[in-house]
Amino acid sequence: MSQTKNKSGLATQGVATPNSQTGSSVPHVASTLRRKTVALCCFTAAFLTFLSFAAAADQAIPTFNCMSLEWDCSQGGNERTCRVQYRAQGADAWKMGHPLWWDRVEKQYRGSVVDLVEDTAYEFRLSIPGGVSTTLRGRTWNSHYRIAETITLPAGTLTHTLVITNGGSAATGYKLYKAHPSGTTIDVANAENYCADIRAGFVILQGVTMRHARVHGLRIGNVTDVVIEGCDIAVWGRKDPASTPELPLQVQLDSGIYTEGPDVERIIIQGNRVHHPRYTANDWTQPSPYFKSNHPQGAKAVYFKPPAKGHHVIRFNEFFGDAQHLFNDVLFESDGGTSPSPGNGLVRDSDIHGNLIADCVDDGMEIERGTRNVRIWGNVFDRAGVKTICSCPWWGPYYIFRNVVVRPYVPADPSRLPNIFNWSELRSVFLIGVGRGPNGESVRPEERGMGYIYHNTVFAPPGEGMTFILQPPSKPGADTPVVEGDGWHTLRNNIWMTEPFRMGTNYALYRWNSTRPVMDYDLVNAEVSRRTAAGGHLLLGTPHFQAGSFAEAARARDARLAAGSHGIDGGILIPNFNDGFAGKAPDCGAIEFGSANLKVGVSLWRPSDAKSD
């Protein structure tokens, strides 16, 4: 069918040209970065941000609620802790931030400040012993984007791909392509590869229902500054012709939202439901024709094809399926590739929070090879893979905090599980995050960086509990210390409930032969196979939940501790991560006693063009 294009750059195939109206401007913000190099000033319309593509230097890189900090310091070192203080500009009092991590390769202190207020200017004072200091300044993003033009899509059902080739600009703002008030559905009936194809930057696509794309529900090309919000995407993808009628597998990487291009940057995915791929994924007990092994293949909810530039936010979404429509991984896929590695497309300076992540067989999210100032918090994982998070370090640091894991994925017949990563005793694990070499050794220079794991709650419903918290880095039968892995993780103030698989003893950490306390101030119900890997404040016990038993609390996705439970006041102060605790000390787990239950999903989202409260 012939394709026509209106002046707004909306390509339509056999559909009426939508109405267009000028949207009103909304407040926008600026982020000022202190740099040693000449910076290019670029307005991103939803938020002003100053970007420098010259040599890396001192900078504060914002998202809505976080700030990445980078400080090149010739006098720095592992033995010299970098103190962080921050405040909103104009405030009198400074708050303590989390110390920055030292990157010995780049000679740089690096890390994040979290829990910031949107559209607010901040200053950050960094210092190390000896009087060396610097101050960085930045402004957080604003959710209320500047709208250059609003294009209202036709009501009813469109039957061809919506191709967007005309976006806004740094100077004028975003172009908002908005569903009709009575609803806009794009159903291509498996006749076209995508329901929507975004080929321009500074675009918002809002409120559209997308169904029956042949390959990907929605594609984003090699562009920057795109917002996908309030959409409902389902029933996409191709069947692998080599799969069987009994197990119709989706073609590997056919995704609900798919981006590709080396310049992809600042993609905001918020308030969407991405669910029920057309076919399913095999679990670790079933064959994959793609991998020619039992490694899972199938759909992704979101995939950033590497390489990309990162600086993304994924928040307030619901990613789910059912027993007949399982994801391989819900979020992302890493690619080792050649040097320099393409990574995973998430890359750096990115946030993932407030999401429901459910119904996958391998990884809830695969952030490995892209963990430079990446923050993951406030998500609920339910039947989200045999590995909740795969995060083999790549530059670092990254932060995983205040998430709730209801249950991992458990195959119908776990006895058929192979030796996953050489471990017959491994049925499921919260985190994989060491180097790829023997005993966790780095095999590439990019494999470095600390993972800070704070205030998470992992349930253990009977028969569905985690086997271990961290993937054992040592080979079976070995008893050597973790190579370089002493710097991979810091676990504090978590609740880890586990149950054994193919072994008689329940272990929270198994063969994690670290020479420093990787885990401390955590509440566990299991042993640690090597005591040097745990500190002297590890709590052994079982929590009690307000919602009842493990099974009842898990079904309710309610991680609030009951009065008098183990774990209350059992944690340690971590600046910027639990400043507002009640009682004698912070509680273990995702939710401080007396606080509301964790809320996730689309109910938290507000449209970008909505008026401020």
pLDDT digit string (tens) for 312-362? 999 999 999 999 999 999 999 877 555 555 677 888 999 999 999 999 999
pLDDT at 613: 47
Q: What is the mean pLDDT of residues 86-112?
A: 96
Per-residue confidence (pLDDT) for residue 32, from 0 to 100: 34
pLDDT by residue (tens digit) across 387-443? 999 887 788 999 999 999 999 999 999 999 887 666 788 899 999 887 777 777 777
CB burial of residue 338 (10 Å; 0-12, 13-18, 19+): exposed
Mean pLDDT comparison of 23-27, 340-344, 491-495, highest-scoring range: 491-495
Give the model's confidence band at 608: pLDDT under 50 very low, under 70 low, under 90 confident, else very high.
Answer: confident
Model pLDDT, residue 138: 98
% residues pLDDT > 90 (the chain): 73
Amino acid at 462: P
Task: Give pLDDT tens digits for 239-259.
Answer: 999 999 999 999 999 999 999
Burial class from Cβ neighbours inside 10 Å (0-12, 13-18, 19+) for residue 527 reads middle
Per-residue confidence band for 47, with pLDDT thresholds at 50, 70 and 90: very low
In this model, does residue 54 exceed pLDDT 60? Answer: no
pLDDT at 386: 93
Q: Is the pLDDT of residue 449 over 70?
A: yes
Residue 8 belongs to a domain: no
On whether residue 16 sits in a domain, the answer given is no
**Spatial contact of 184 and 16, defined as CB atoms under 8 Å apart:** no
Maximum distance among all Cα pairs of the chain, rounded to whole angstroms: 71
For residue 103, pLDDT over 70 is answered with yes
Query: What predicted TM-score, i.e. pTM, was given to this entire model?
Result: 0.90
**Residue 500 is assigned to a structural domain of this protein:** yes
Which CATH number covers residue 130?
2.60.40.10
Residue 1's pLDDT is what? 38
pLDDT of residue 422: 64
List the one residue out of 61, 107, 104, 101 whose CA is nearest residue 83.
101
pLDDT at 10: 44
Average pLDDT, the chain: 87
124-174 pLDDT per residue, tens: 999 999 989 999 999 999 999 999 999 999 999 999 999 999 999 999 999
Whether residue 68 has pLDDT greater than 90: yes
- % of the chain with per-residue pLDDT over 70: 86
In a domain, 276, yes or no: no
- Picking from 93, 113, 139, the residue at the C-terminal end of a domain is 139
The domain boundary, picked from 92, 117, 139, lies at: 139
Query: Within 13 A of 21's CA, how many CA atoms are on the CB side?
Result: 7
Q: In this structure, is residue 61 part of a structural domain?
A: yes
pLDDT reading at 222 higher than 80:
yes
Is 249 part of any domain? Answer: no
Beta bridge partners of 350: 374
Cα–Cα distance between 367 and 371 in angstroms, integer? Answer: 7
CA dist., res. 493 & res. 98, Å (int): 15
Strand partners, 225: none
Look at residue 184 and tell me if it is in a domain. Answer: no
Per-residue pLDDT for 478 more than 60? no
- At residue 341, the pLDDT reads 54
Domain range for 121: 40-139
For residue 53, how many C-alpha atoms fall within 13 Å in the half-sphere facing its CB? 6
Lowest model confidence (mean pLDDT) among 25-39, 530-544, 545-559: 25-39
Q: What is the DSSP letter of 581?
A: -
**Which residues contact residue 409 at a Cβ distance below 8 angstroms, ignoring those fewer than 6 apart?**
283, 360, 361, 383, 384, 385, 386, 428
pLDDT of the residue at 12: 37
**546-572 pLDDT tens trace:** 999 988 999 999 999 999 999 999 999
Contact 495, 464 (CB under 8 A): no
- Of the chain, the end-to-end C-alpha distance in Å amounts to 45
Check residues 308 and 514 and name the one with the higher pLDDT: 308
Residue 1 covered by a domain: no
pLDDT recorded at residue 150: 98
Res 514: pLDDT: 78
- Tell me if 509 sits within 8 A of 470, measured CB to CB: yes
Domain final residue pick, 122, 139, 156: 139
Domain total of the chain = 2
Task: Please write the tens of the pLDDT for every residue from 262-320.
Answer: 999 999 999 999 999 999 999 999 999 999 999 999 999 999 998 899 999 999 999 99
